[in-house]
Amino acid sequence: MNSYISIALVVIFAGCSIAYPIHASCKIQWTFGISCDMVKEKIKGQISTWTTADNCPNGAGEKCLYTFVSETNTTITAKHATPVKHYMDDLTFTFTPSNSMCNVKGYSTSETWYAYLDYSTNYCNLNNLITGSGLDKVNAYKEVTSDDVCTQYSSKDCEKY
């Protein structure tokens, strides 16, 4: 009985003091000064370019092993495998047009159920597609995220591998 109480207290106190999500994941909001159709095409193009392991020889990066899953009028879903251990992450991009701008919500989450800390992998899953496609250079580009919604965001290094 004492062990159940101890576990419950650990869960309660951990939930109160953790600045990160309870599972390895990342949420990012972007604004782009181009149409959502153009943003979608650039993201899909980058996923296609980075489908193989060619950009990640000997574990030299995460800019590879993306897989396009599906698309609707307002979403793209994809997967990313880490090049060394082949852990799978699920990615979703949700597009909302606003005049001549496009607002995008990106979400990446580890499929591994016990993943908690991810060394900013879920952030990099999303960020690498945006920077690789050049979307970070378009007019009115803005990115918003934080450690509260993105595991280990403040210690990110998307070139570390």
Indicate if the pLDDT at residue 78 is higher than 80: yes
More confident residue, 134 or 1: 134
- Kindly state the average pLDDT of the residues 101-127: 92
CATH of the structural domain 21-155, one choice from 3.30.9.10, 3.30.530.20, 1.20.120.1200, 3.40.50.300: 3.30.530.20
Whether the pLDDT of residue 148 is over 60: the answer is yes
> What's the pTM?
0.85
Q: Tell me the mean pLDDT in the region 89-110.
A: 97
Is residue 135 within 8 Å of 42, Cβ to Cβ? yes
The pLDDT of residue 68 is above 90 = yes
pLDDT tens track for 5-26:
333 334 434 444 455 567 899 9
Both structure tokens of 104: 């995008």
Domain boundaries, given as residue ranges, for the chain: 21-155
